[in-house]
């Protein structure tokens, strides 16, 4: 395989140094580094300027590949996806292929993934990360035949799409828990359900703080795990970057801050209020500068407690109770006095059961995501070394052969084959269950039951029942009652109407309006009926 310097087949055009005096409320969008996110560039939230011929050399059009050339995110790149012409700001580079018979645009995009670490290394020589177009053009890239470039790009793009869809399914689970929390407990600020409010000293049996005086003096290479703020993530414990206390210090001087299974710890300094439950495997460990609490079993479920404090509303409540100047603190005294709504423990326990099921499923998805990312890395390495037999690569076979252990289970590990990543089939949504729509593995459904028992997706329902006719909310009400009445869900006509109007206001809506000349009425139709 031939290797050439990037500048031999492609030039990196620098942007224009627009001044704030050039900015206007309307006009041509100016693409800045902040517009490059997750390999996509859009003019959303961009500053604008009036059209001037002198800026024609800095035009950006749909499909252009742009890269950040300075700042903390130097090396991030993305494809401009908009039909709106834009201008290229200073320190944003735009790749321009010299000969499309030598270099394919999609292949270039994939190559940038492989050379991004090189770009980052070259940029980090000074105090402020920065790289020139000449430096990037001087990086060598593999240059196979054009036909092979197209095949490589197609294979890697498909693999990337699988990764993205798996990430989307994980995000859906997070959103599902948020909506379930609001559905079961209502808005904690408005408290429409009338739950009683209790302060921390009422619903907690223990509120204290971890080691704060010279904790480093007790560090050893091996010993008892000591959790720090950086180990506490929303609803979970991160076991990377751990430190350890000696066994002797843990059992004597530091024994007051020993943690037990089921304790809830809060970040005291930094990302204040972030909360997580101590799992069984960390029973007996210690902690540094964390707030340690023990919930009263008859009043509050630990999962409800951590989910509340990690929610947007919980974060705002904690923020309003912080003390200190530049470095904010959330202290024991504040938590003792802070009042939160306490629903019936039976309802909290129901929510905790749902959380456990979803978290188990999320671990499964995260395991499959790791497998997909490993697959992409393997394909990429082989492709750019010329070791990939393109004629024999079948991405579906990679997916079918994908195996991972069921995570988060106390039972013996079992093998799960072909974890679905949103159905690749051209399957009509009318034939799907909600589990299929979300891509939930059959093994998880068999073990924990269908997600339809706890969750509704309004977009899914409209697509499923009105895929071949106009949307009729009266008809939907009849369907809804047949499906969900026994589950205690009532049909809220005004809420559905608000949902429809909000959806229609979006630039890319799954709904559309069409005028029926026979009835002289506007009809509501499904704009797409297949799961993307």
pLDDT at 526: 78
pLDDT at 456: 63
pLDDT < 50 stretches in the chain: 397-427, 485-488, 529-532
DSSP string over 275-314:
EEEPPGGGTT-EEBSEEEEEE-TTT--HHHHHHHHHSHHH
Is residue 450 within 8 Å of 433, Cβ to Cβ?
yes
pLDDT at 488: 44
Is residue 293 within 8 Å of 308, Cβ to Cβ?
no
Q: Which CATH number fits domain 148-195+346-385: 1.20.144, 1.20.120, 1.10.3470, 1.10.287?
A: 1.10.287
pLDDT at 433: 77
Is residue 98 within 8 Å of 11, Cβ to Cβ?
yes
- Say how far apart CA 259 and CA 286 lie, in whole Å: 6
447-481 pLDDT, tens per residue? 556 666 555 677 777 887 777 677 776 777 777 66
pLDDT at 119: 96
Q: Which CATH architecture has domain 197-342?
A: Alpha-Beta Complex (3.90)
pLDDT at 446: 65
Q: Which CATH architecture has domain 435-526?
A: Orthogonal Bundle (1.10)
Burial of residue 519, with CB atoms counted within 10 A of its CB: 0-12 exposed, 13-18 middle, 19 or more buried: exposed
What is the side-by-side strand order in the sheet with 204-209? 204-209, 290-295, 264-267, 275-277
CA 498 to chain centre: 27
Name the 3-class secondary structure at 97: strand
- With vertex at residue 300, the alpha carbon angle to CA 296 and CA 302, rounded to the nearest 5 degrees, is 95
Tell me where in the chain the CATH 3.90.220.20 domain(s) lie. Answer: 2-143, 197-342
Give the CB-side neighbour count of residue 364, counting CA atoms within 13 A: 28
Is residue 83 within 8 Å of 63, Cβ to Cβ?
no
How many other C-beta atoms can be found within 10 angstroms of the C-beta atom of residue 516? Answer: 11
pLDDT at 391: 60
pLDDT at 247: 94
Rounded to 5 degrees, what are φ and ψ at 237? Answer: -110, 130
Is residue 178 within 8 Å of 133, Cβ to Cβ?
no
401 closest CA partner among 413, 415, 411: 415
8-66 pLDDT, tens per residue? 999 999 999 999 888 998 999 999 999 999 999 999 999 999 999 999 999 999 999 99
Is residue 13 within 8 Å of 133, Cβ to Cβ?
yes
CA distance to 171, 209, 231, 244, 363, per residue, from 269 (Å): 27, 12, 13, 20, 28
pLDDT at 515: 61
Residue 216 DSSP one-character state? G
Strands 23-24 and 204-209: unpaired
Q: Which CATH number fits domain 2-143: 3.90.220.20, 3.30.70.20, 3.40.50.12780, 3.40.50.2020?
A: 3.90.220.20
pLDDT at 443: 59
pLDDT at 490: 60
Tell me where in the chain the CATH 1.10.287 domain(s) lie. Answer: 148-195+346-385
- Say how far apart CA 105 and CA 82 lie, in whole Å: 17
Characterise 289 by phi-psi region: left (phi > 0), alpha (psi -120 to 50), beta (else): left
pLDDT at 496: 72
pLDDT at 483: 65
């Amino acid at each position: 395989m031939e290797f050439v310097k990037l500048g031999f087949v492609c030039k990196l055009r620098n942007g224009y140094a627009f001044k704030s005096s050039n900015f206007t409320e309307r006009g041509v969008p100016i693409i800045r580094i902040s517009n490059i996110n997750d390999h996509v560039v859009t003019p959303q939230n961009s500053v604008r300027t009036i059209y001037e011929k002198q800026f024609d050399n800095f035009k950006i059009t749909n499909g252009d590949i742009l890269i950040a050339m300075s700042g903390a995110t130097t090396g991030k790149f993305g494809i401009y996806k908009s039909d709106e012409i834009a201008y290229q700001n200073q320190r944003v580079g735009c790749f321009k292929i010299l000969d499309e018979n030598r270099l394919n645009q999609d292949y270039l995009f994939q190559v940038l993934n492989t050379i991004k670490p090189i770009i980052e290394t070259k940029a980090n020589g000074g105090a402020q990360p920065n790289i020139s177009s000449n430096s990037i053009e001087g990086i060598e890239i593999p240059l196979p035949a054009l036909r092979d470039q197209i095949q490589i790009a197609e294979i890697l793009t498909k693999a990337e799409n699988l990764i993205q869809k798996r990430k989307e399914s994980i995000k859906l689970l997070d959103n599902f828990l948020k909506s379930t929390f609001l559905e079961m407990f209502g808005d904690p600020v408005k408290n429409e359900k009338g739950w009683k409010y209790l302060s921390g000293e009422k619903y907690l049996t223990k509120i204290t703080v971890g080691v704060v005086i010279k904790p480093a003096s007790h560090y050893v290479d091996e010993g008892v795990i000591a959790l720090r703020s950086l180990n506490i993530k929303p609803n979970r414990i991160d076991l990377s970057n751990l430190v350890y206390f000696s066994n002797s210090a843990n059992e004597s001087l530091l024994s007051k801050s020993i943690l037990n299974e089921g304790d809830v710890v809060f970040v005291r300094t930094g990302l204040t209020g972030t909360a997580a439950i101590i799992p069984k495997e960390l029973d007996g460990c210690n902690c540094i500068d964390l707030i340690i609490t023990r919930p009263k079993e008859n009043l509050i479920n630990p999962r409800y407690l951590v989910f509340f404090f990690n929610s947007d509303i919980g974060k705002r409540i904690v923020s309003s109770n912080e003390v200190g100047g530049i470095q904010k603190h959330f202290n024991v005294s504040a938590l003792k006095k802070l009042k939160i709504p306490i629903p019936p423990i039976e309802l909290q326990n129901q929510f905790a059961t749902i959380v456990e099921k979803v978290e188990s499923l999320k671990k499964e998805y995260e395991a499959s995501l790791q497998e997909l990312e490993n697959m992409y890395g393997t394909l990429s390495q082989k492709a750019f070394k010329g070791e990939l037999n393109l004629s024999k690569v079948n991405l579906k076979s990679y997916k079918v052969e994908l195996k991972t252990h069921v995570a988060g289970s106390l039972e013996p590990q079992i093998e799960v084959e072909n974890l679905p990543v949103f159905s690749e089939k051209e399957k009509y949504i009318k034939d799907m269950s909600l589990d299929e729509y979300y891509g939930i593995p059959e093994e998880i459904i068999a073990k924990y039951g269908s997600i339809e028992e706890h969750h509704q997706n309004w977009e899914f329902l409209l697509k499923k029942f009105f895929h071949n006719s106009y949307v009729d909310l009266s008809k939907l009400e009849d369907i809804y009652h047949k499906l969900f009445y026994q589950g205690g869900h009532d049909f809220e006509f005004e809420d559905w109407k608000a949902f429809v109007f909000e959806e229609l206001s979006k630039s890319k809506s799954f709904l559309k309006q069409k005028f029926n000349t026979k009835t002289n009425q506007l009809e509501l139709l499904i704009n797409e009926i297949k799961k993307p």
